[in-house]
Amino acid sequence: MSELPEQPQSPSPSEVKRVLEAALLASQDAMSTGELRKLFEQELDHALIRRLLDELREDWAGRGIELVQVSSGWRFRTTADVQPYLDRLKNEKPAKYSRAVLETLAIIAYRQPVTRGDIEDIRGVAVSPGIIKALEGRGWIDSVGYREVPGRPALYATTRRFLDDLGLRTLAELPPLAELQKVMEFNDAR
Partner 1 sequence: MSGEALIAEPVPAEKAAPPARLYGEALEKLPLDLYIPPDALEVFLDAFQGPLDLLLYLIRKANVDILDIPMAPLTAQYLVYVEAMRSQRLELAAEYLLMAAMLLEIKSRMLLPRPPREAADEGEDPRAELVRRLIEYEQMKAAALALDAIPRIQREHEWVGVQVAERLVEIQPNVSATDLQLAWLALMRRADMTRHHKVTREALSVREFMSGILRRLHEEGDLRFDQLFEVGAPAAQMVVNFLAVLELARENLIELLQLEAFAPIYVRTARTAAVAEPV
Judged by beta carbon, residue 10 or residue 35, the one nearer partner 1 is 35
- Whole-number minimum distance, CB 174 to partner 1, in Å? 7
Least separation, in Å, of the C-beta of 179 and partner 1?
A: 4
DSSP one-letter string for 43-67: ---HHHHHHHHHHHHHHHTTSSEEE
Q: Which is nearer to partner 1, 61 or 102 (CB)?
A: 102
- Residue 158: φ, ψ to 5°: -80, 155
Backbone phi and psi for residue 75, each to the nearest 5 degrees, phi listed first: -160, 145
Smallest separation, CB 66 to partner 1 (Å): 8
Check: CB of residue 31 under 8 Å from CB of residue 73. yes
Smallest distance, partner 1 to C-beta of residue 134, A: 14
Of 14 and 181, CB closest to partner 1: 181
Q: How far is the CB of 186 from partner 1 (least distance, A)?
A: 6
Nearest to 73 by CA among 24, 138, 18, 22: 24
Q: Which is nearer to partner 1, 100 or 154 (CB)?
A: 100
Residues 16/44, Cβ–Cβ less than 8 Å: yes
* Shortest CB 26 distance to partner 1, Å: 5
Amino acid at site 122: I
Rounded to an integer, what distance in angstroms lies between the CA atom of residue 47 and that of residue 53?
A: 10
Say how far apart CA 83 and CA 15 lie, in whole Å.
31
CA 171, distance to chain mean position in Å, is: 9
19 vs 48, beta carbon nearer partner 1: 19
Residue placing its CB nearer to partner 1 in the complex, 7 or 25: 25
Positions in the binding site for partner 1 (CB under 8 A): 25-28, 65, 75-80, 83, 86, 94-95, 97, 99-100, 102-103, 105-107, 109-110, 121-126, 164-168, 174-175, 177-180, 182-183, 185-186, 189-190
